[in-house]
């Protein structure tokens, strides 16, 4: 079981790195500037909160931290969708990130359901 936790830690870290790599390629305009700021924060928060969940003080703490992970994954998906709207030429890079955030939402939802 521990290896799965660490695999997801690595997966969320790699996701955040891919988001950072994406935003480095976007044109620097007023709309992208705001979207970039938001998506980098929320994408990084998914993995950071998951690592905190792995160090939870108990079942209730784990449950709350995983709920935050899910919330941040949903927010990241939202910002990615807006970035795609403003930068449709990056669809091939953004769509897999949206899919990954959707998978995170599903995984965290399953963890929440199983921890109740």
Domains of the chain by residue range: 2-16+28-115
Mean pLDDT value across residues 76-97 = 98
pLDDT digits (tens, 9 = 90+) for 38-59: 999 999 999 999 999 999 889 9
Residue 91: pLDDT band (50, 70, 90) is very high
6: pLDDT strictly greater than 70? no
What's the topology of domain 2-16+28-115?
Answer: de novo design (two linked rop proteins) (1.20.1440)
Alpha carbons 23 and 33: distance in angstroms, whole number: 9
Alpha carbons 94 and 65: distance in angstroms, whole number: 26
82-96 b/e (C-beta count within 10 Å ≥ 16 → b)? bbbeebeebeebbee
pTM of the entire structure?
0.91
Alpha carbons 65 and 8: distance in angstroms, whole number: 14
Q: Note the pLDDT of residue 30.
A: 95
């Amino acid at each position: 079981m521990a290896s799965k936790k660490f695999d997801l830690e690595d997966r969320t870290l790699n996701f955040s790195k891919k988001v950072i790599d994406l935003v480095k390629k976007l044109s620097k305009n007023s709309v992208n500037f705001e979207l970039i700021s938001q998506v980098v924060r929320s994408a990084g928060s998914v993995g950071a909160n998951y690592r905190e969940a792995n160090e939870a003080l108990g079942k209730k703490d784990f449950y709350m931290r995983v709920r935050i992970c899910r919330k941040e994954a949903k927010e990241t998906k939202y910002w990615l969708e807006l970035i795609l709207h403003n930068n449709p030429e990056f669809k091939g890079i953004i769509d897999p990130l949206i899919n990954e955030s959707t998978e995170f939402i599903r995984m965290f939802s399953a963890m929440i359901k199983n921890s109740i």
